[in-house]
Structure 1
Amino acid sequence: MKIDSDLSAIVTGGASGLGLATVKALRAAGANVAIFDLNPESGEKTAGETGATFVRCDVLSDDSVAEAFAEARRRQGQERALICCAGGGNAIPTVRRDKTTGAIQPFPADKFEWVLRLNTVGTFRCITHSAAGMMTLDPIDGERGVLVSTASAAATDGQMGQAAYAAAKAGIVGMTLPIARDLSREGIRINTIQPGIFLTPAFDGAPPEMIDALNAQVPFPKRMGIPAEYASLALELIRNTYMNGETIRLDGAIRMQPR
């Protein structure tokens, strides 16, 4: 699919990190972009800096997602590209023992469920809304739209304390091919990017020795990923019509250690 001023795109989690880099890359290529994010301050700031449109969206809410898609389409027309970058997690062992009291504490199920709802269900919720809209369009060169999801190296290399996050991201990987098959008759593609360790705002303020240790884990190049590299792959997945139903690792060949 060609990326130019005729393309309307939506990026969830587009006000920071991987999403922000993708917004910038799409705008540089001429696309009309709507930023879906929970943070109005950073969302409006990003929109002002890039010429994109900000729409507040909570991917945990059916109503919020439906309203956000309706507003984005009102402002810039039906999207033909959706890039899902919204997500997050926690770090809690499956069961832990208090070092002081010895009390045994299971992972709270509600906190496990929240991570799955945010990542897996939130991504799927946005995909279904977007694909339903894309199905109303006439095909261009045989396709109606493109979906890009974001998983994580944790989907296959989950570390200690990442049971919820690993399960949530593995769910995104696992649903990619079935969604591609479901949407194939409608001319809509989907692919998933599985990033390794990227230099995002999550590492703002991290001590240099921590960054050095993370860099050392990557076989080559020996550094954390740059968000612009994620964005470059996301745009290629939009452009390359033969890429469908795939999950692509973008991680410098890292395989995460247990901790």
Structure 2
Amino acid sequence: MEIKETAAIVTGGASGLGGATARALAARGARVFALDLPNAVEKAEPVDGVTFVPADVTDAEQVADAVSAAVESGLPLRTTVNCAGVGWAGRILGKQGPHDLELFRKVVEVNLIGTFNVLRLAAAAMSTTQPLDHDQRGVVINTASIAAFDGQIGQVAYAASKGGVVGLTLSAARDLASFGIRVVTIAPGIIDTPMLAGVSDEFRANLAGGVPFPKRLGHPTEYAGLALSIIDQDYLNGEVIRLDGALRMAPR
């Protein structure tokens, strides 16, 4: 699918995986609408071809407005990449007692419900575009995590939310097939994003040491590159792709 002179939506687009993907899409000629929370948007550095939109992915009205802005750009909305997410940790039973229910609910709300909220609204807009070859209209790329398969101690909420993203992939692809919209999920391993900015060099080295090959942390640009490849490969649909250097996480 051609990226140039199309509109694209990227959530979590102010930094990290989303920021790298927004820049990569803009470099390929897309008009990118990068959604993120207001405080993140305020800190984002301007990028040619990228419009930063303050929006909470769990808010139906805010996402609908952002999708409308992409549609009103005059370019067909062909690409949506869901990168927004949170990763708070907690054990089912810890020193403070049972896992906080609201914390669990919030992680699932952002990572799973937020992903679905953007998916459904973006797909509705994509379905109205002029079809291309083989009746294709666009692609939605969601972000899971290898924690969906290898959830560690303390990751019960995160693993459950990302497992939900994995679980909806094939069903969503089948749901949207009649509209010419593909759905593919990327499950990253340990990527060097702002979430790791506060850790020590020693801790970072330990994380990298657990990766079979290449023995390092992943780069957001590698996620972005894979996203572009998914867009380019029209026959890739309904699949979850691990991007993790063959890492299989231990319990802790």
TM-score range (shorter-chain normalised) is over 0.9
Question: Could you say which residue in structure 1 is the equivalent of 2:21?
Answer: 22
Q: Distance in 1 between matches of 2:87 and 2:198?
A: 19
| Structure 1 residue 256, shift from structure 2 partner | 0.7
TM-score, reference length from structure 1: 0.93
User: Does the 8 Å contact 2:6/2:76 carry over to 1?
Assistant: no
What's the secondary structure of 2:52's corresponding residue?
A: strand
Gaps of at least 5 residues in structure 1 are 99-104
| Structure 1 residue 77, shift from structure 2 partner | 3.8
- Structure-2 change in CA distance of 1:256 and 1:85 (3 Å): same
What's the secondary structure of 1:147's corresponding residue?
A: strand
Does residue 226 (structure 1) correspond to residue 211 (structure 2)? The answer is no
Does residue 217 (structure 1) correspond to residue 216 (structure 2)? The answer is no
Q: How does 1:1-259 map to 2 (within 5 A)?
A: 1-4=1-4, 6-40=5-39, 42-43=40-41, 46=44, 48-75=46-73, 77-98=75-96, 105-141=97-133, 142-259=135-252
Question: Could you say which residue in structure 2 is the equivalent of 1:101?
Answer: none
Gaps of at least 5 residues in structure 2 are none
Q: In the comparison of the two structures, how many residue pairs are matched?
A: 251
Q: Distance in 1 between matches of 2:74 and 2:185?
A: 25
| Structure 1 residue 68, shift from structure 2 partner | 1.7
User: Does the 8 Å contact 1:32/1:76 carry over to 2?
Assistant: no
* Residue identity in the other structure for 1:29: R
* Residue identity in the other structure for 1:35: A
User: Does the 8 Å contact 1:55/1:72 carry over to 2?
Assistant: no
* Structure with larger Rg: 1
1:20-48 deviation line (CA, Å, top 9, x unaligned): 010111111111111101135x4356462
User: Does the 8 Å contact 2:11/2:83 carry over to 1?
Assistant: yes
Q: Distance in 2 between matches of 1:33 and 1:86?
A: 15
What's the secondary structure of 1:75's corresponding residue?
A: coil
User: Does the 8 Å contact 1:153/1:195 carry over to 2?
Assistant: yes
| Structure 1 residue 76, shift from structure 2 partner | 5.0
User: Does the 8 Å contact 1:55/1:71 carry over to 2?
Assistant: no
Question: Could you say which residue in structure 2 is the equivalent of 1:102?
Answer: none
| Structure 1 residue 51, shift from structure 2 partner | 3.0
TM-score, reference length from structure 2: 0.96
Q: Distance in 2 between matches of 1:173 and 1:205?
A: 29
Fraction of identical pairs, as percent: 49
| Structure 1 residue 116, shift from structure 2 partner | 0.6
User: Does the 8 Å contact 1:46/1:52 carry over to 2?
Assistant: no
* Residue identity in the other structure for 1:59: V
User: Does the 8 Å contact 2:189/2:243 carry over to 1?
Assistant: yes
| Structure 1 residue 78, shift from structure 2 partner | 4.2
* Residue identity in the other structure for 1:193: I
User: Does the 8 Å contact 1:47/1:53 carry over to 2?
Assistant: no
| Structure 1 residue 89, shift from structure 2 partner | 2.2
